[in-house]
Chain A
Amino acid sequence: MFLINCPFCGEREQSEFKAGGEAHIVRPKQPTELSDDEWAEYLFMRKNIKGVQFERWNHVHGCRKWFNMVRDTSNDQIKAVYKMGEKPPVK
């Protein structure tokens, strides 16, 4: 079980959090302008990387804030956590 450093609350047990899928997928500003394929790309297509992955997490049983996490899925090392809207601190 991870120990996650919520950017707002500090270190907490993983059981307080909920994973929210791939990070940095921006909702299109003008969905109506998009073709079916373009919309489907936004709607359905997600990466599932073995290695360093950018993820959204929610401190659902804590401050309720969403934030981003950089995690190496091959060994579960959390490389960084950072607030929504911030640039990833690691590559």
Chain B
Amino acid sequence: MILTLAIHTVREAIRKKIPHILISLGAIVLAISPFISTTHEPDALPKIMLTVFFQAVALLCVTGIILFSAVSLPHDIENKTIFSILSKPVSQFKFVAGRTLGFALLAAFILVALGLVNIISVFFASAHLPPEHRGIFKARKEFGAHHFHIQGKIHHEKEGIRWVMGGREGIAIWHFSHLHEKAKNIPPFEVELRLKLDSSRNVADTIPLSIGIEGIQSKENKTELVSAKADETVTLGIPPEIIRKNNDIKITVFPTLTADYIGTAHNTIKVFSIQKGFVFNYAKALAITFLKFLLIIAIAVMGSAYLSAFVSILSAFAVFLCGHLLDFIKDFSLLLHHSGAHEHGLPGMIKKPSGFMIYMDYFFKKPLEWISFILPDFKKFDILSYLLKGIDIPIETIGFSAGYTVLYVAICTLISYILLKKREFF
């Protein structure tokens, strides 16, 4: 029954050409995106395309979905088509749930369609990129070092960076642990070094480094000589046989020449496991974007269960914007709090809070606190940076946003149901 209502909603949208319009508008925006002028970094174009999709196109779709979902219920009531539904054995709850599900299906369809366009064009745009610039196509999971020390002499330490002189005078050592749990399905691993480099040689274009990777359990090790350039990250694959036998590894680095120096810190080196890859990561990003849409749909439906079409559109947009500005709202309410706290420092005479401050407190701070408590926090749905850095979106992020959305949608649907139940249809 809920599904029937949902399909009905989708059909309504299709007959009213809503997906057609949104998908073509979205495709136009995506088609324009390559012409945005960018920096001259080789991978700027695919990055711009991803950004445009997850910011501009998503915003466009949200707008369309809000317009449609906030309007549909008030239209049902205004055109009295709701009579023909509620005179059937359909409870108000099923009605709301069916509508919401319908909008969700619609949103999913539009997202997937535009997402396909986006991902295909991203692949096209980066077909000729050299391997070292294909970072966004990885979906890596990051491991920080759990221990870092210098064996031998630290040449000097400045601003938290420990400098080591070459020729084995000092060796920087990082330990990484718990890289994988099970022996099966071990993904490839790589290590990324962002060292500071210096040299007392006159012409030092590149600096030769000795990088050792050693398994803690099997004691196997492998050493590689790499010539590093200043300001460039060095990426090395970790031999699979070491990873297979070891859960924990040790990485040692020193410049081979005594005239060279490296600057190191705890987070200079990171280990990444390369997960399923870009397409899967992209799918996860789409899923989270979809959850965000679902949340807005539930809010739009809730508004439209009580308000007129126009007012519910406005309020859904307001919630959407506020959800994005939530940090700002929080800061603002904190700010008010701070200026209130300030008074305690003042002498007893003027310590008594002024009328103005009480006024501010009741009319701004309290409501703002409440708003920031009630509003959805869309910060939790921000996945673009993961994609741009080629980092695997952690499963916890998905779980969290899914849980958040489910809770929110459940509450909104319940409220919509109660509002409709109380409502009269003239």
**Binding partners A and B:** no
Could you list which residues of chain B lie within 8 angstroms of chain A, going by C-beta atoms? none
